[in-house]
Amino acid sequence: MIPVAQRLAILETERLALRPITEADATDIFPLMDDPAVMAFWDVPEIDDPDVVAGMVRGQVAAMAEGRALHWSVHALADDGFLGSCDLSDIDRRHKRAEVGFMLCRDSWGHGYAQEAMQAVIAFAASSGLRRLTARTHLGNRRSESLLEKLGFSEEGLLRGHVLRDGERRDCRLFGLLL
């Protein structure tokens, strides 16, 4: 279990602040998850009901309290603007591994923010004792795969028909990084 003080730490980079999410962040996260462009390669389609997103964020806050996951909202240091979110989920202390996730608002793509945020998350994961990180992408998510490669992840396999979305089975790629 990652100690509470460490779990609740704000991670700062050159341009960003990553803050542990709270239920109030649902207001910012809703428009992100309501955007079809952002959700094109997500396991579920865009969510047009703010209450569903609020319930999801409540679940993430609960998972953090139980030490199962860490979720951060990502803000620009310059003006505190909300840029997106990222996380470590499925934290397995026995095997010292977790899964990474990240999503940015559409107009925040192409500035290197995801790379900068995830470098901080990976450093945090390593310093808290995790030794393996995984990520899963839907086939065709070029931006996500390019980011993972820049972060040092290697492709480890293809998960055939892993996701059922919009009535169709989608293949996923599995990526891994040993710390």
Residue ranges that bind ligand COA, judged by CB under 6 A:
38, 41, 102-104, 109-115, 137, 141, 143-144, 147, 150
Q: What's the min distance (Å) between Cβ of 104 and ligand COA?
A: 4
**Bridge partners for 11 per DSSP:** 18
What is the b/e burial string over 135-163, where b = at least 16 CB atoms within 10 angstroms of the residue's CB? bbbbeebeebbebbeebebeeeeebeebb
CB count in 10 Å sphere of residue 48:
11
| Residue 22 or 146 with smaller CB distance to ligand COA | 146
- Residue closer to ligand COA, measured from CB, 93 or 106: 106
Torsion of CA 82, 106, 21, 124, to 10 degrees: -100
From the list 152, 156, 128, the residue with the least C-alpha distance to 69 is 128
Q: Which residue's CB is nearer to ligand COA, number 56 or number 67?
A: 56
- How near is the Cβ of 120 to ligand COA at its closest, in Å? 12
Q: How far is the CB of 64 from ligand COA (least distance, A)?
A: 20
Of residues 112 and 161, the one with the C-beta less far from ligand COA: 112
Considering the complex, what minimum distance in angstroms separates the CB of residue 40 from ligand COA?
A: 7
Residue nearest to ligand COA (CB): 112
Instruction: Work out how close the CB of 149 gets to ligand COA at its nearest, in angstroms, rounded to a whole number.
Output: 10
Going by C-alpha positions, the residue among 77, 105, 89 that lies closest to residue 18 is: 77
Under 8 Å between Cβ of 53 and 30: yes
Nearer to ligand COA, 91 or 104 (CB): 104
In three-state secondary structure terms, 88 is: strand
